Amino acid sequence: MITLEEQQTVLKPIFEAVTTIKTVFVDFPDAIQRGQLPCIILSAGEAEYDQVTRGAHHLRIRRTWKAILLAEEAVLGRQFQAEQTTKPFLTSVPVKLAAYPVVKLADGRSFDLRLDKGRDQGVLTIKYNDALYTGTIFYLYTVVESYITPV
């Protein structure tokens, strides 16, 4: 079984490969420094479990991931800042992710990275630790399948 942590480990460099992303966090940081922006905070969301499609001894886990983009600190009174700083990522992030339909671990195991039914929330102002940032939230899915040995 490919663990959640293993998925995070191999998803991180995919997000780091998006042009102009400076930092990718796999845990929520206590603080974000200006030099770390734009950044992505990768967070595991809900999952669906399926033991019906391929049989009771086969577990399929489809996990939702949130990739929270903080593009830059929001400046009050600066019109259209969120649009200017976030729009380029609304194309570059999904295009980069789509280039990895199957993600391989160093040991040869793999899982699917899916954008079908994925989405983003458009241009947003996001509050994080009492600071405002321009950005968006991307939703993507991973699918891990594993044979379960009966007890």
User: pLDDT tens-digit profile of 71-119?
Assistant: 999 887 666 777 888 999 999 999 999 999 999 999 999 999 999 888 9
Query: Which phi and psi angles does 89 have, rounded to 5°?
Result: -75, -25
Q: Which helix (H) or strand (E) segment is 118 a member of?
A: strand 110-120
Query: 70 pairs with which residues across the strands?
Result: 39, 135
**How high is the pLDDT of residue 79?**
67
Instruction: Output the pTM of the full model.
Output: 0.90
From 21-25, 64-68, 119-123, the region with the lowest mean pLDDT: 119-123
Q: Which helix (H) or strand (E) segment is 126 a member of?
A: strand 124-128
Rounded to whole angstroms, how far apart are CA atoms 111 and 103? 5
